[in-house]
Amino acid sequence: MSGTNRRLNFHVVGQRAGRRLRRSPPPVGHGCGSAVPELTPGGEFNMVGMFGIAMFYVGAVLVVNGAWLLGKADNRSAGIFNLLVGGLITVMAINNHIRATELVHHLGTANALLFGFTYLALAANTLFNLDGRALGWFCLFVAAATVPNFLMAFGAGDLRFGAIWFLWGFLWFIFFLSLALGMARLTRAAAWLSIIIGLVTAGIPGYMMLWGVW
């Protein structure tokens, strides 16, 4: 296939994905505050695009954190990635807060910051060699905050986001046990859970959202 044909085919695929994305209604999970929406020129929030970006990179950093817990990455390297992703989510959340027009958008900001602050705090812990107990207690708060979100999603019939919120809460509770209560025996389990849950609930769904097939 010639270079011109390849470029044309890629352009057509992109157009089709864009049309599907515009036709797709926002998932119920976004209404539970999990999204960091983008304000479109028309004044309406595009719940899928910015949330897909955030989810995609959250999946990446959870994989990195899992590798770090398994001893496959050093503290500083892992800290840099957490700083980048935590900063990205925080900036998106603040942008959402500034441009929000409905109360549910502020709920989205609050939920996004739970995770943005987790990654920023983990970055600080790894870069400055902190003991992590305070972060562990914050993880318990995050785990508790996921409960109304997954109950709301399940109640609205959104099984996908209900399951995602449930798994996030479970993972953050494991982080609490490991960091705040010092259950070092859970470290290996937390590592693999971080990798698997990161891919299944964030990385893959985020990429699918960006292609308009979620």
The domain ranges of the chain are 27-211
**What tens digit of pLDDT does each residue of 48-64 get?**
788 899 999 999 999 99
Q: What is the pLDDT of residue 20?
A: 42
**Class of 27-211 in CATH:** mainly alpha
Distances (CA, A) of 199 to 7, 56, 118: 30, 9, 18
Q: What's the CA gap between 27 and 47, in Å, rounded? A: 8
Q: What is the pLDDT of residue 116?
A: 98
Say if CB 55 and CB 205 are below 8 A apart: yes
Question: Could you list the mean pLDDT of each consecutive 10-residue stretch along the chain, which spans 214 residues?
Answer: 40 41 40 40 59 96 98 97 98 90 88 97 97 97 98 96 98 98 96 98 96 90
- 104: tokens are 């549910």
N-terminal to C-terminal alpha carbon distance within the chain: 30
Q: Is 151 exposed, middle or buried (0-12, 13-18, 19+ CB in 10 A)?
A: middle
Backbone angles phi, psi at 46, to 5 degrees: -90, 100
Q: What is the pLDDT of residue 38?
A: 41
